Structure 1
Amino acid sequence: MPIERVDDPDDPRLADYRDLTDVALRRVLEPAGGLYIAESAKVIGRAVAAGHRPRSLLVQEKWLDEAASVAGDAPVYVVTDAVAERLTGYAVHRGALAAMHRPVLPEVADVVAGARTVLILEDIVDHTNVGAAFRAAAGLGADAVLVAPRCADPLYRRSVRVSMGTVFQVPWTRLPEWPEARGVLHGAGLHLAALALTAGAVTLDAFAAARPERVALVMGAEGDGLSRRALAAADTVVTIPMSGGVDSLNVAAAAAVALWALRV
């Protein structure tokens, strides 16, 4: 584990960490480069424990010992607070960042094999909501999470941070498009329950009282909700009864409520 002190934010060794606030740039560079960014020694440690491999770490001096313990053979670049802020575009309060090699995603059938409760996220664009949904999945007993092709990246830095590293704890992968996804999930023996506000939907408590043995909960995007293709693929449409003039919950909150109701 080489430890290298770097004083210049333009140093090419730090290229993976530059301009992290530019979301569009990171969306292009991270998948294409096979990388994602993990933030804080705790989250980096969870990624490493899940078998992910760091390419390098960026740390401030006071966090060096903690970060070095999870670095393995990767180089550790030590910078001042000022250099870290100039480099990333924000104050790195958590003391450590890691450029992690992005693992190859597994097949859907392998991820859901034996799963009794699966959470599906369709086209959710807010990384905070994706991270919060993963945290709910981990804390409330989901066996796997599946994300649609246009869903925000669970390994984006904000998603990882909000999830508290649970994106490394819950098995996950990407689904194909509907209706192909329906065939894959039915082939795995999963009942598709779409959370939506539609006429004739079954209330969550009624569905939970007679829940199928193996269920995949399909959650829709912020604002627009589930697509027509997702609703057409569903075996049951389920709704969470609301009061106080509120029609629905935030998608991550709705996922938490539904997962709690269907806990086994």
Structure 2
Amino acid sequence: MTDERPVPEGVTWIDDPRDPRVRDYFQLTDVALRRVLEPAEGLYLAESEKVIRRALAAGHRMRSLLLTPRWAADLTELVQPALAAGIPVHVGTASVIEEMTGFHLHRGAIAAMHRPELPEISDVVHDAQRVAVLEDVVDHTNVGAAFRSAAALGVDAVLVTPRCADPLYRRAVRVSMGTVFQVPWTRIDPWPGGVATLRELGFTVAALALADDAVSLDELEADPPDRLALVLGTEGDGLSPRTVESADLTVRIPMGGGVDSLNVAAASAVAFWAVRDRGRS
């Protein structure tokens, strides 16, 4: 133990980065946390104090907490309720935790959280005017960034297709700054068959894609429908032809400088800003 800073009573010091009591943090990848530990729900990792607090505020349940000594001493508002509820709180030096997890713990705190059961689409979009659909976006950073933009720019719900990266993967959660817990979301399956489901629920479905018959985002911004579902595609290939054909309209972001498109995270921010419900801004 190289850090003698006092920590709260009841915490467990971890000196061995392969201690079986902290196996959630070293033995299992994001995929394994989701599929192996508890197949009915699984787990995910929430990194940093702010993200953990947002997860708890959203009603998610903590399985265990892992901190460096400084944060164990400072975050008594997280530590004491966890200990009182019988949730294990582990403390290790920064070097032990880095060897354990394989990455540097920037904010000194990480929690293993129980995955919530995903809600039905109809429940997620019941009161929504603006919905984002992420089709097969495989980069966790882009998923997290899209959620952060959705939270900031008035998107009421996010739907992710079956092959889209999981919003609860550690990097996606961290990049989103915990807004994956703030914006209601669920998976839409099958896809693109789900376009018909959205239409039945009263949404105009707009595909963000390059196409000869695409309308400018400026036109959509000037006269947006009351309920709009904006579909954004995967990195590189964009939306599938079937999705574009199924949508009510195709929309493109006007470009200059010889550039034909933006990164999906940047495109999401531009599109969300343009179609935001100004009555609620």
TM-score range for the pair, normalised by the shorter chain length:
over 0.9
**Partner residue of 1:65?**
73
Matched, 1:35 2:43: yes
Aligned counterparts of 1:166 and 1:108: Cα–Cα separation in 2: 19
Matched, 1:180 2:180: no
Aligned counterparts of 2:223 and 2:178: Cα–Cα separation in 1: 33
Q: Which amino acid aligns with 2:199?
A: H
What does residue range 105-124 of structure 1 map to in structure 2 within 5 Å? Answer: 105-124=118-137
Q: Is the 8 A contact 1:59 1:67 kept in 2?
A: no
Q: Is the 8 A contact 1:109 1:184 kept in 2?
A: no
Aligned counterparts of 1:17 and 1:129: Cα–Cα separation in 2: 24
Q: Is the 8 A contact 1:147 1:175 kept in 2?
A: yes
Matched, 1:134 2:138: no
Aligned counterparts of 1:256 and 1:209: Cα–Cα separation in 2: 17
Q: Which amino acid aligns with 2:144?
A: G
Aligned match for 1:149, one of 139, 162, 165: 162
- In the TM superposition, structure 1's runs of 4+ consecutive aligned residues that sit over 4 Å from their partners are none
What does residue range 245-256 of structure 1 map to in structure 2 within 5 Å? Answer: 245-256=258-269
Q: Which amino acid aligns with 2:184?
A: P
Question: Could you say if the C-alpha distance between residues 80 and 257 of structure 1 is closer, same or farther in structure 2, counting changes exceeding 3 Å?
Answer: same
Q: Secondary structure at the match of 1:252?
A: helix
Q: Which amino acid aligns with 2:51?
A: V
Aligned match for 2:214, one of 180, 198, 201: 201
What does residue range 1-264 of structure 1 map to in structure 2 within 5 Å? Answer: 2-18=10-26, 25-33=29-37, 34-71=42-79, 72=82, 73=85, 74-264=87-277
Question: Could you say if the C-alpha distance between residues 101 and 171 of structure 1 is closer, same or farther in structure 2, counting changes exceeding 3 Å?
Answer: same
Cα offsets for 1:216-243 (capped at 9, x unmatched): 0000000010012211220010000100
Q: Is the 8 A contact 2:60 2:115 kept in 1?
A: yes
Give the TM-score taking structure 2 as reference length: 0.89
Aligned counterparts of 2:22 and 2:215: Cα–Cα separation in 1: 53
Q: CA deviation at 1:6?
A: 1.3
Q: Which amino acid aligns with 2:264?
A: V
Q: Which amino acid aligns with 1:222?
A: E
Aligned counterparts of 1:68 and 1:221: Cα–Cα separation in 2: 42
Q: Is the 8 A contact 2:162 2:191 kept in 1?
A: no
Aligned counterparts of 1:67 and 1:58: Cα–Cα separation in 2: 11
Structure 1: 5+ residue stretches without partners: none
Q: Which amino acid aligns with 1:188?
A: L
Larger of the two Rg values belongs to structure: 2
Q: CA deviation at 1:94?
A: 1.1
Q: Is the 8 A contact 1:192 1:236 kept in 2?
A: yes
Identical amino acids, percent of aligned pairs: 60
Q: Is the 8 A contact 2:160 2:186 kept in 1?
A: yes
Cα offsets for 1:237-256 (capped at 9, x unmatched): 00001000111011011111
Q: CA deviation at 1:9?
A: 1.0
Structure 2: 5+ residue stretches without partners: 1-8
Moved more, 138-147 or 204-213: 204-213
Residue correspondences, number: 260
Cα offsets for 1:55-80 (capped at 9, x unmatched): 00110000013444235322110011
Q: CA deviation at 1:190?
A: 0.7
